[in-house]
Amino acid sequence: MNRLQNYAFDQWVAGTGPQTTLFHAVTGAPVAETSSGGLDFGAMAEHARRVGGPRLRALTFHQRAAMLKALARHLLDRKDAFYALSAATGATRSDSWVDIEGGIGTLFAYASRGRREFPDETFHVEGPQEMLSKGGTFAGRHICVPLEGVAIHINAFNFPCWGMLEKLAPALLAGVPCIVKPATATSYLTELMFREMIASGILPPGALQLIVGSAGDLLAHVTEQDAVAFTGSAATGRMLKESKAVVEHAVRFNMEADSLNCSILGPDAVPGTEEFDLFVKEVAREMTTKAGQRCTAIRRTLVPAGLEEAVVQALTARLAKLTIGDPAVEGVRMGPLASKGQVRDVGAAAARLREAGELVYGDADFAVVGADRERGAFFGPMLMVCDAPFRRAEPHDIEAFGPVNTVMPYATLDEAVELARRGRGSLCGSLVTADAATARRVVLGVAPYHGRLLVLDRTSAKESTGHGSPLPNLVHGGPGRAGGGEEMGGARGVLHYMQRTAVQGSPSMLTAITREWSAGAAQRTDVVHPFRKTFDALEIGDTLVTGTRTITLDDIAAFAALSGDRFYAHMSDEEARTNGVFTGRVAHGYFIVSAAAGLFVDPALGPVLANYGLEKLRFTKPVYPGDTIRVRLTVKQKTAKDTPEGGIPQGVVEWDVEVSNQHGEAVALYSILTLVRRAG
Distance CA 678, CA 603 (A): 19
A 10 A CB-CB count for 572 gives 14
* pLDDT given for residue 226 in this prediction: 96
* Mean pLDDT, residues 602-608: 90
Q: What is the dihedral of CA 419, 423, 425, 427, to 10 degrees?
A: -100
The CA distance from 218 to 253, in Å, is 14
Bigger pLDDT: 344 or 580? 344
pLDDT at site 1:
64
Banded model confidence at residue 525, pLDDT cuts 50, 70, 90:
confident
Which domain, by its residues, includes 634? Answer: 523-677
In this structure, the answer to whether residues 313 and 277 fall within a common structural domain is: yes
Same domain, yes or no, for 306 and 242? no
Share of the chain above pLDDT 90, in %: 68
**pLDDT tens, 586-598?**
999 999 999 999 9
- Give Cα separations from 290 to 50, 115, 164, 372 (angstroms): 39, 34, 17, 19
Same-domain status, 270 and 151: no
Which residues are CB-neighbours of 603 under 8 A, at least 6 positions away?
none
Q: What is the pLDDT of residues 81-102, one digit of tens each?
A: 999 999 999 889 888 988 999 9
Grouping H, G, I as helix, E, B as strand and the rest as coil, residue 146 is: strand
Cα 409 from Cα 387, distance rounded (Å): 6
Q: Residue 509: inside a domain, yes or no?
A: no
Residue of 356, 426, 429, 419 lying closest to 390 (CA atoms): 419
**Residue 282 is among the residues annotated as catalytic for this protein:** no
Fill in the DSSP letter of residue 642.
Answer: P
- On the question of pLDDT at 339 being above 90, the answer is no
Residues 595, 549 contacting (CB under 8 angstroms): yes
Q: Within this chain, do residues 248 and 281 fall inside the same structural domain, yes or no?
A: no
Distance between first and last Cα of the chain = 55
Query: 604 and 616, same structural domain?
Result: yes
| CATH number where 297 lies | 3.40.309.10
Is 507 a domain residue? no
Average pLDDT over residues 378-389: 93
Strands 6-8 and 11-13: antiparallel
From the candidates 33, 256, 275, 308, give the one annotated as an active-site residue.
Answer: 256
Mean pLDDT for 564-575 is 92
Give CA–CA dist 424/401, Å, rounded.
17
User: Please, which pLDDT band fits residue 680 given cuts at 50, 70 and 90?
Assistant: low
Q: Are residues 249 and 300 in the same domain?
A: no
- The catalytic residue among 295, 308, 654, 658 is 295
Three-state SS at 509: helix
370, 298: one domain:
yes
Same domain, 30 and 166: yes
If pLDDT is split at 50, 70 and 90, which confidence band does 373 have? confident
Mean pLDDT of 555-584: 91
Residue 65 lies in a domain: yes
Annotated active-site residue 256? The verdict is: yes
Within a domain: 340: yes
Same domain, 141 and 102: yes
Helix axes 79-86, 187-199, angle to 10 degrees: 170
Under DSSP, the state recorded for 37 is: B
Give the pLDDT band of residue 292 (cuts 50, 70, 90). Answer: confident
Contact 79, 111 (CB under 8 A): no
For residue 93, what is the domain's CATH number? 3.40.605.10
Mean pLDDT of 474-499: 89
The answer to the question of residue 504 being in a domain is no
Domain count within the chain: 3
Q: Tell me the pTM.
A: 0.88
Does 480 fall in a domain? no
CA–CA separation, 477 vs 271, rounded Å? 33
Q: Chain-wide mean pLDDT for the chain?
A: 92
Same domain, 615 and 555: yes
pLDDT per residue as tens digits for the range 148-189: 999 999 998 888 999 999 999 999 999 999 999 999 989 999
Q: Is residue 478 part of a domain?
A: no
Closest CA to 453 of 463, 438, 442, 437: 442
Indicate if 247 and 280 belong to the same structural domain: no
**Higher-confidence residue: 264 or 459?**
264
Residue 518: inside a domain: no
Q: Are residues 69 and 142 both part of a single domain?
A: yes
Kindly report which listed range (107-116, 316-325, 460-469) carries the lowest average pLDDT score: 460-469
Residue 656 maps to which CATH number? 3.10.129.10
pLDDT digits (tens, 9 = 90+) for 216-232: 999 999 999 999 999 98
